[in-house]
Each structure stands twice: as structure tokens, then as C-alpha cells.
């Protein structure tokens, strides 16, 4: 196998290190976060760090990059305390990726792509029309990570919309039925295919 020590990693060219380390922890979820500023400007951006934090209460976390440049999703989130999380189906990959481009704040990624806003249950920020799993979230807290100047947002799931075809009797979502993509690194999009679901794992009867 090819080996990298901590010292070698630190001395790699920036983009090579970014690609290597970003891919090294495995596939990540791909989500579009929809927000709207107080004065009505919509914003949409792709995030690969939306993670399940707990089910009871239903919480998610998002890792945000350092605020060394203007971060519109974060600013809108802090201003309004609400945002949406939208899974990305295969046919939205190119537009979803494009939302990472740095447009000025008064430009909406909804106008720069074919992605369409959708408003439901009088929730202030837009969902992404056609996304098979949509979460309406409320900001709860922000934790600063002093080691790399990032921060982790903790939010609650307030509304949850799921396409009927992908939800099973026990509440489990078969994401491949919605053609939901995952991210490999920062620019590789994969379409996972379910192999099997397994029973709750218990210790073997005669375990060593
Ligand atoms: C695949 C992918 C995943 C990304 N994930 C994150 C992330 O988890 N956190 C983050 O702060 N930025 C992430 N970004 C970068 C944002 O999409 C980018 O900074 C975007 O311009 C933010 O838009 P905003 O300023 O409108 O919020 C990611 C970009 C790509 C292409």
C-alpha cells in the first residue's frame, strides 16, 4: 500500500492534501442547504458534512469552514435561525455542485442553476423542488473548533418530507430508490446501491 506519515501529509501540495484527506474518511452525504436572508434573498449551497447527531431529539450537525470569507448560508442561518436540508438526486449533480461557486450575496443560486425553490408549511427558507428527502431545520447552537477555526452547527429537525416510494414500514429510508448521491472527496459524486439490510447485531451465543 502507499503510505503517508503525518509529516509527509503536512508537506504535501495543498490541493493533493485536500483531495487525499477529504477522501480518506469515506463517502459522505451530499445535501443542498437552502436559506433566505431577512430581506428576502434566497441562497443554496452544497454541504457534505450534514450528519445525524441523534434521533431523540432529532438532531443534525453541520461543519462550517472558517469565516475568513463571507459565508452566506451561515449568515442567513444566524439571521433567521432556520434552513432546509435537501438530498441530491442523480440528475441534480451538476447544478448541485455549481452551488459551491462563490456568487455575491445578492445572487441566488436558484437563478444560476435549474434548481427550483419550493415553499411548504409556511417555513421561511426554500426547499429544493424534486429533492426526495427534505428537512426543515431550526438552528440551536454553534460550537467553535479552535483546532482549525471551523465551527459545528447543531440544529433540530422540525419538518421532514420523504417521497412515498422510498420509506419502508419501519421508517427506514431506502435512499437508492430516490437515486440519492453521496460525495467522494470534494468533487466525486457516487450513486450507492443497496446490497442488503441486516438484523440488529447481538453477541454470538458462544462468543470467545
Ligand atoms: C462537495 C462539496 C461539499 C462541501 N461541503 C462543505 C461543508 O461541509 N462545509 C462548508 O463550510 N463548505 C462546504 N463546501 C463549500 C461550500 O459549498 C461553498 O463554500 C459555498 O460557496 C458556500 O456558499 P455560501 O457562501 O452561499 O454559503 C462544499 C463544497 C463542495 C463542492
- pLDDT tens, residue by residue, 27-84: 999 999 999 999 999 999 999 999 999 999 999 999 999 999 889 999 999 999 999 9
Q: What angle do CA 100, 175, 72 make, to 5 degrees?
A: 20
User: Ligand 1 mean position to 69 CA, how many Å?
Assistant: 12
Does the C-beta of 164 come closer than 6 Å to ligand 1?
no
Is 173 strand, coil or helix?
strand
Domain count, the chain: 1
Instruction: Answer yes or no: is 64 within a domain.
Output: yes
The Cα 50–Cα 36 span in angstroms is 19
Q: Show Cβ contacts of residue 37 under 8 Å, excluding neighbours closer than 6 positions.
A: 43, 72, 75, 76, 79, 80, 105
88 within a domain of the structure (yes/no)? yes
Give the range of the structural domain holding residue 117, as residue numbers without chain letter.
Answer: 26-190
In a domain, 202, yes or no: no
What separation, in Å, do the N-terminal and C-terminal C-alpha atoms of the chain show?
A: 32
Rounded mean pLDDT of 4-17?
Answer: 98
pLDDT at 158 > cutoff 90: yes
- Tell which residue, 4, 43, 46, 14, has the closest CA to residue 29: 46
pLDDT higher at 47 or 208? 47
pLDDT at 208 over 90: no
The pLDDT tens digits of the residues spanning 186-199 come to: 999 999 999 999 99
Q: Identify whether 30 is part of a domain.
A: yes
CATH of the domain at 151: 2.30.110.10
- Taking the centre of ligand 1 as the mean of its atom positions, its distance from the CA of residue 12, in whole angstroms, is 23
- DSSP assignment of 91-125 equals GGHHHHHHTTS---TTS-HHHHSS--EE--TT-SS
CA of 100 to the centre of ligand 1 (A): 5
69 DSSP 8-state letter: S
Kindly state whether residue 166 falls inside one of the protein's structural domains: yes
Q: Give me the chain's average pLDDT, please.
A: 97
Whether 207 shows a pLDDT value over 90: the answer reads no
Cβ 80 under 6 angstroms from ligand 1: no
Amino acid at each position: 500500500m502507499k503510505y503517508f506519515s503525518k509529516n509527509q501529509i503536512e508537506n504535501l501540495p495543498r490541493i493533493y492534501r485536500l483531495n487525499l484527506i477529504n477522501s480518506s474518511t469515506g463517502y459522505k452525504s451530499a445535501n443542498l442547504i437552502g436559506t433566505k436572508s431577512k430581506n428576502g434573498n434566497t441562497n443554496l449551497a452544497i454541504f457534505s458534512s450534514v450528519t445525524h447527531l441523534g434521533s431523540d431529539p432529532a438532531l443534525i450537525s453541520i461543519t462550517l469552514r472558517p469565516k475568513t470569507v463571507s459565508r452566506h448560508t451561515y449568515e442567513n442561518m444566524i439571521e433567521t435561525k432556520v434552513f432546509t436540508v435537501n438530498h441530491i438526486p442523480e440528475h441534480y449533480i451538476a447544478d448541485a455542485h455549481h452551488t459551491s461557486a462563490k456568487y455575491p450575496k445578492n445572487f441566488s443560486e436558484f437563478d444560476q442553476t435549474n434548481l427550483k425553490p419550493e415553499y411548504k408549511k409556511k417555513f421561511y427558507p426554500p426547499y429544493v423542488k424534486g429533492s426526495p428527502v427534505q428537512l426543515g431545520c431550526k438552528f440551536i447552537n454553534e460550537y467553535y473548533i479552535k483546532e482549525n477555526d471551523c465551527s459545528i452547527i447543531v440544529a433540530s429537525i422540525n419538518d421532514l418530507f420523504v417521497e412515498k416510494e422510498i420509506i419502508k414500514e419501519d421508517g427506514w429510508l431506502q435512499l437508492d430508490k430516490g437515486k440519492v448521491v453521496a460525495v467522494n472527496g470534494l468533487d466525486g459524486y457516487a450513486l450507492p446501491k443497496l446490497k442488503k439490510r441486516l438484523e440488529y447485531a447481538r453477541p454470538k451465543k458462544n462468543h470467545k
